[in-house]
Structure 1
């Protein structure tokens, strides 16, 4: 079955507990956006590792797994339109294909095939790097067990096309879910003891603040109900954003910043945040016509 025409929110599901959390997150997002939810389960034929062994038909088990995911959504979110898609093939490839037309893909950080101790599974990492649409890695949200609801989103901004797309998504998410928004730019001071006369670190930092305000201003006008603050924080981007994400409902980042290498689909900072952020992470790619820039 082809997934090329799928629209709305897509959730990958393999029967694991991590994927159940992703289903819940995806259903909530589909409800907020007024979109349908499609649950995809992809399975690969297995020959038992030996040429002499017959191919095992896993299709019935795969269908049972998918049906379990659909049943979970209908029980937890009966108001959300949901359907299932069963695919035979590599899960990452099928989810990337679905992302060509979907509005959003939601995944758990690690599925049944992940190694113990591995924070981010290979399927999640591949889809986050290659999907055309935004991808959310839906790990546990903060304060879930304390009864408190996180009330803010955080977005990392560095002026790159991908981070500008992330900023737009962050404002949309904040408006949809009634969250405040913290737009953060990390500022790394000039790493020299006696900088040349033309290097004005304080002036450059002020210019960064002005640029951040310039980027957020039109989105404040577009989403007047969102309480948003923009700040430049001294430190390395990874550490600054990990700290800012503490207690947040969602961290939104661009797939590749200004410091990324041409052709690299996901930058080192984004990858580190996918691995270690304390909340769900959304990865947003630059518009396709801007991806070759920088």
Structure 2
């Protein structure tokens, strides 16, 4: 049996959008959908509300969410589950047993972007499986566009030719293939800081750019052969990777970033590029753990 696509819900508009995205993803993958609720997802328990009442409320929330999803996806296999234990740990555990974990992320006012709470961030760090974060701005209320010719948007994957990024490409190519979308492999690089004036900057870019483009093309060549039906676009640009990914997201339906799994005293964490994209990208963001 296929591993499920698992989505955490708490009744918020963001979690409803996450559930809808997860349902569409389940259909693309031919996988069942598991809707879960972790107690105290949104914070501390309400004063005076006992465990029995919270359990009943969680059951109602799960049933309502499942029914909402079934109306749009009547053929989809859907199950629900209450999770025990601290929410971050419970969600990470559910994600580890899933093909994919989907969470919602709420918007902030003005240009501040989007907020992923401590529970969501801890769940990302603790699970080795891919995690997708879904927003709910109006223009993205339909999270995945139909995969008919000419209507699909890009799947953008942030890569680094100095690191191992095969897990990101594996995820991105499968997503692009399932949607009939174009895959954009984007690498942002910097000019050495000794370059001071504009003419030297242009010369350095002209000298370094072709070699970087060749290295990126060589890294991507096996993937072109593995996924010949996917339209692959290679982009190696001067600039900060996070800013370039956010710009590319304007024409994307999904952005894929990596987080390195580290041992030692610091433990696992989300790097600066992934952190910036998570908090400022308006389209769904997939975070992929890699060595």
User: Where on the TM-score scale, by shorter chain, does this alignment land: which range?
Assistant: 0.7 to 0.9
Q: CA deviation at 1:209?
A: 1.6
Match of 1:179 in 2: 181
For 2:68, which of 60, 72, 89 is the aligned residue?
72
Answering whether residue 212 of structure 2 is matched by residue 208 of structure 1, we say: yes
Match of 1:166 in 2: 168
CA distance in 1, matches of 2:138, 2:165: 24
Match of 1:95 in 2: 91
Of 230-239 and 132-141, deviating more is 132-141
Match of 1:237 in 2: 241
| Corresponding residue pairs, total | 269
CA distance in 2, matches of 1:228, 1:6: 28
For 1:276, which of 262, 280, 284 is the aligned residue?
280
Gaps of 5+ in 2: 146-150, 198-203
Q: Cα RMSD (Å) of the superposition?
A: 3.1
1:92-122 C-alpha deviation (Å, 9 max, x unpaired):
21110012221100111149xxxx9862222
Q: CA deviation at 1:179?
A: 0.3
What is the TM-score normalised by the length of structure 1? 0.81
**Contact 2:113–2:279 (8 Å) recurs in 1:** no
Of 208-217 and 261-270, deviating more is 261-270
For 2:192, which of 190, 193, 214 is the aligned residue?
190
For 1:106, which of 102, 105, 117 is the aligned residue?
102
Q: CA deviation at 1:181?
A: 1.1
Which has the larger share of helix?
2
Distance 1:48 1:124, change over 3 A: closer
CA distance in 1, matches of 2:241, 2:172: 18
Q: CA deviation at 1:35?
A: 0.5
Distance 1:216 1:141, change over 3 A: farther
**Contact 2:156–2:183 (8 Å) recurs in 1:** yes
Distance 1:252 1:188, change over 3 A: same
2:76 counterpart SS class: coil
Distance 1:81 1:209, change over 3 A: same
**Contact 1:257–1:267 (8 Å) recurs in 2:** no
1:179 counterpart SS class: coil
**Contact 2:259–2:289 (8 Å) recurs in 1:** yes
1:279 counterpart SS class: coil
CA distance in 2, matches of 1:90, 1:162: 33
Distance 1:278 1:88, change over 3 A: same
